Amino acid sequence: MRNGRPRVLRLPALQRLALCLLPCLAACATAVAESADQPPRFELPAPKGTPLRFVVYGDTRFTTREHVAHANARRALVEKIAAEQPAAILVGGDLVYEGRDPEEYRIYKSETADWAARKIAVFPALGNHELKGCEDADDANPCLENWWATFGSLRPYRWYSVSFGATLLAVILDSTSSLKPESEQRQWFERQITEADQRFPFIVVLLHYPPVRDPIYPVTLDEKLVAHYLSSKARSLHAQVVVVGSHVHNYERFNRDGIMYLVSGGGGANPVPAVRMFGELSRLTTGVNFHYLRFVVDGDRLTATMVRFDEKDQSGHPWSEPDHFEVNARH
**CATH code, domain carrying 120:** 3.60.21.10
**Does residue 90 form part of some domain?**
yes
Residues 19-42 have a mean pLDDT of 59
Residues 142-146 have a mean pLDDT of 96
In the chain, the percentage of residues whose pLDDT exceeds 70 is 88
Tally of domains within the chain: 1
CA dist 66 → 97, 127, 128, 166, 280 (Å) = 11, 20, 19, 42, 31
pLDDT at 161 over 90: yes
pLDDT at 151: 97
Answer yes or no: are the C-beta atoms of 3 and 37 closer than 8 Å.
no
Cis peptide before 210 (omega within 30 of 0): no
Question: φ, ψ for residue 116 (rounded to 5)?
Answer: -65, -40
Query: For the stretch 144-165, what's the b/e string if a residue is b when 16 or more beta carbons lie within 10 angstroms of its beta carbon?
Result: bebbbebbebbeeebbbbbbbb
pLDDT at 11: 36
Would you place residue 18 in the very low, low, confident or very high pLDDT band (cuts 50, 70, 90)? Answer: very low
**Does residue 171 form part of some domain?**
yes
Residues 24-39 have a mean pLDDT of 58
pLDDT at 278: 86
**Does residue 1 form part of some domain?**
no
Return mean pLDDT, the chain: 90
**Does residue 45 form part of some domain?**
yes
Residues 202-223 have a mean pLDDT of 95
Would you place residue 17 in the very low, low, confident or very high pLDDT band (cuts 50, 70, 90)? Answer: very low
pLDDT at 15: 35
Q: How far apart are CA 168 and CA 54, in angstroms?
A: 11
Give the range of the structural domain holding residue 95, as residue numbers without chain letter: 9-328
pLDDT digits (tens, 9 = 90+) for 260-285: 999 999 999 999 999 998 899 999 99
pLDDT at 16 over 50: no
Would you place residue 13 in the very low, low, confident or very high pLDDT band (cuts 50, 70, 90)? Answer: very low
**Does residue 2 form part of some domain?**
no
- Mean pLDDT check: name the lowest of 1-10, 79-88, 142-151: 1-10
Residues 15-34 have a mean pLDDT of 44
**Does residue 3 form part of some domain?**
no
